[in-house]
């Protein structure tokens, strides 16, 4: 093959990749990125670009029980702290019934009274680490994404009735998008924490499915189409360049150690409307996080 032909092929590949990057960026910026969520003191250069420790706040919001169209609340509150140099991460699943450090309300009510940035401030004060990026997910609007993913494989931890189907505990089930939505929304006798765990589990499985899908170069062309439909369910202050680096570097798969901490307390409705957390467990969680981020 002549050098001229090789150069033509190289130029064609370059323009194809450039166009693809541009198309994905346009889809992301118009459908996903909401810079109005960013605070003025948030660093312009994302830690992801410098392979430094970064913390995300993921908030899953939905309406109240039994599908009532009342005020939305924060059902899922999770932080994910990643240290690329140590190849370690800590995920903290925070009970929405914990008390806000500044107000006599639960974290869920902090969202109802404000927005994601209000919860960001509350969780930073609770965990005593900085949060770099926020991600808000509308749980009731996930059906189109689940359709694109072809449903999800879900691990059933406790017996549950989904439509006409009863699932036993300790089994993995491939569910359709409709079944996944019913799984998240099912009303049972379980605690609100267990309900939140199911929703958190679905979000985790979605993130894994998306990373598996888009870390495959042959499927990266599907990313723009997926992002074009993300407007209804995803709002983040994560800039497109940072998002693309995160996908490209495949941070999640490169981790050697992943820890998950459940941060909740004891709840007695006759004594207080929020959970009372064990201070020793909270101090240990803070210590683990601060060691990971190098504080």
Question: Cα separation of 83 and 129, whole Å?
Answer: 13
pLDDT at 23: 67
**Residue-wise pLDDT tens digits, 222-279:** 777 777 777 788 888 877 777 777 766 666 667 778 889 998 877 666 566 777 888 8
Q: State the burial class of residue 159 (Cβ atoms within 10 Å of its Cβ: 0-12, 13-18, 19+).
A: exposed
Distance CA 97, CA 106 (A): 5
Outline where DSSP puts E strands in 139-274. Answer: 152-156, 160-162, 165-167, 171-175, 234-236, 257-263, 265-266
- The pLDDT tens digits of the residues spanning 41-86 come to 444 456 666 668 889 999 998 875 544 556 778 889 999 998 888 8
Contacts of residue 269, Cβ cutoff 8 Å, sequence gap at least 6: none
The owner of tokens 């639960």 is 106
What is the model's pTM? 0.82
Answer whether residue 2 shows pLDDT above 80: no
**What pLDDT band is residue 8 in, cutting at 50, 70 and 90?**
very low
Cα separation, 7 vs 225, whole angstroms: 30
4-8, 131-135, 256-260: which has the minimum mean pLDDT? 4-8
Four-point Cα dihedral 240, 40, 130, 64, nearest 10: -80
Residues 6 or more apart in contact with residue 281 via CB below 8 angstroms: 263
DSSP lists the bridge partners of residue 61 as 74, 138
Q: Give the range among 108-112, 210-214, 217-221, 253-257 with minimum mean pLDDT.
A: 217-221
């Amino acid at each position: 093959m002549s050098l001229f032909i090789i150069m033509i092929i190289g130029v064609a590949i370059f323009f194809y990749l450039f166009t693809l990057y541009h198309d994905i960026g346009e889809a992301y910026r118009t459908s996903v990125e909401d810079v109005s969520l960013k605070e003025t003191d948030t660093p312009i250069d994302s830690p992801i670009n410098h392979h430094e420790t970064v913390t995300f706040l993921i908030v899953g919001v939905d309406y109240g029980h039994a599908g009532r169209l009342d005020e939305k609340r924060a059902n899922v509150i999770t932080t994910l702290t990643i240290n690329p140099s140590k190849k370690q991460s800590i995920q903290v699943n925070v009970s929405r019934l914990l008390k806000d450090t500044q107000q006599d309300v639960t974290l869920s009510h902090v969202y109802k009274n404000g927005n994601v940035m209000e919860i960001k401030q509350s969780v930073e004060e609770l965990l005593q680490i900085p949060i770099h990026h926020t991600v808000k997910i509308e749980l009731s609007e996930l059906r189109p994404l689940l359709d694109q993913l072809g449903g999800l494989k879900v691990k059933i931890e406790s017996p549950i009735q989904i439509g006409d189907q009863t699932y036993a505990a300790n089994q993995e089930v491939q569910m359709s998008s409709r079944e996944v939505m019913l799984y998240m929304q099912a009303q049972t006798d379980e605690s609100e924490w267990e309900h939140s765990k199911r929703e958190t589990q679905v979000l985790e499985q979605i993130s894994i499915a998306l990373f598996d899908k888009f870390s495959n170069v042959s499927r990266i062309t599907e990313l723009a189409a997926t992002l074009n439909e993300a407007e209804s369910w995803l709002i983040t202050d994560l800039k497109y360049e940072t998002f693309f680096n995160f996908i490209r570097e495949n941070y999640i798969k490169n981790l050697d150690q992943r820890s998950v901490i459940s941060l909740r307390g004891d709840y007695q409705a006759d004594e207080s409307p929020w959970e009372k957390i064990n201070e020793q467990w909270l101090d240990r969680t803070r210590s683990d996080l601060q060691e990971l981020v190098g504080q």
